[in-house]
Amino acid sequence: MSRLEVHDLVVGYDVADVLHSVTLDVPHGALLAIVGPSGCGKTTLLRTIAGLVRARAGEIRIGQHMVTTHGIHLAPEKRRIGWVPQDAALFPHLTVAENVAFGLPGARGSARSARRAARGDDVRRLLDLVGLGDLGDRLPAQLSGGQAQRVALARALASSPDLVLLDEPFGALDPILRAELRLAVRELLRDQGVTGILVTHDQAEALSTADLVAVMRGGELLQLDTPEELYRRPATPWVAGFVGDAVFLPGTWHGDEVACALGRLPADWVPDDAATASPADAPVDGAPVEVLVRPEELTLSALGTDDGGGQELAATVVDVSYTGHDAMLTLAADDVRLRARVTAAGLLPVGSRVTVRVAGRVLAYAARA
Q: Are 197 and 189 in contact (CB under 8 A)?
A: no
Q: Are 347 and 327 in contact (CB under 8 A)?
A: yes
| Per-residue pLDDT in tens (0 to 9) along the chain, 369 residues | 689 999 999 999 877 899 999 999 999 999 999 999 999 999 999 999 999 999 999 999 999 999 999 989 999 989 999 999 988 889 999 899 999 988 887 666 566 666 676 677 888 889 998 888 889 999 999 999 889 999 999 999 988 899 999 999 887 788 888 888 888 889 888 988 999 999 999 999 999 999 999 999 999 999 999 999 999 999 999 999 999 999 999 999 998 999 999 999 999 999 987 655 555 678 899 999 999 999 999 999 888 665 555 568 999 999 999 988 899 999 999 889 999 999 988 889 999 999 999 998 999 999 976
Q: Which helix H or strand E contains 13, and what residues bound it?
A: strand 4-13
d(CA 74, CA 141): 35
Counting Cβ atoms within 10 Å, is residue 258 exposed (0-12), middle (13-18) or buried (19+)? buried
Q: Where are the alpha helices (DSSP H) in 120-174?
A: 121-129, 145-157
Nearest residue to 249 (alpha-carbon basis) of 320, 331, 325, 329: 331
Give CA 287 to chain center in angstroms.
Answer: 34
Q: Which pairing describes strands 4-13 and 16-26: parallel, antiparallel, or unpaired?
A: antiparallel
Q: Are 250 and 266 in contact (CB under 8 A)?
A: no
* pTM, rounded to two decimals: 0.90
Q: Are 128 and 47 in contact (CB under 8 A)?
A: no
Q: Are 126 and 100 in contact (CB under 8 A)?
A: yes
d(CA 174, CA 36): 21
Half-sphere exposure of 79 (CA within 13 A, CB side): 26
Within 8 A by CB and 6+ apart from 5, the residues are 24, 25, 26, 59, 60, 61
Q: pLDDT by residue (tens digit) across 307-332? A: 555 568 999 999 999 988 899 999 99
Nearest residue to 114 (alpha-carbon basis) of 150, 122, 159, 106: 106
Q: Which pairing describes strands 31-35 and 212-217: parallel, antiparallel, or unpaired?
A: parallel
Q: pLDDT by residue (tens digit) across 339-362? A: 999 998 888 999 999 999 999 899
Nearest residue to 251 (alpha-carbon basis) of 286, 288, 283, 281: 288
**The dihedral of CA 307, 310, 314, 317: what is its sign?**
negative
Within 8 A by CB and 6+ apart from 106, the residues are 113, 117
pLDDT at 106 (0 to 100): 67
175-192 vs 145-157: helix axis angle to the nearest 10? 20
pLDDT at 306 (0 to 100): 57
Q: Are 292 and 361 in contact (CB under 8 A)?
A: no
Q: pLDDT by residue (tens digit) across 195-204? A: 999 999 999 9
Ordered by where they begin, the domains of the chain are 4-232 (3.40.50.300), 245-366 (2.40.50.140)
Nearest 10 degrees: Cα torsion 99, 96, 30, 186: 160
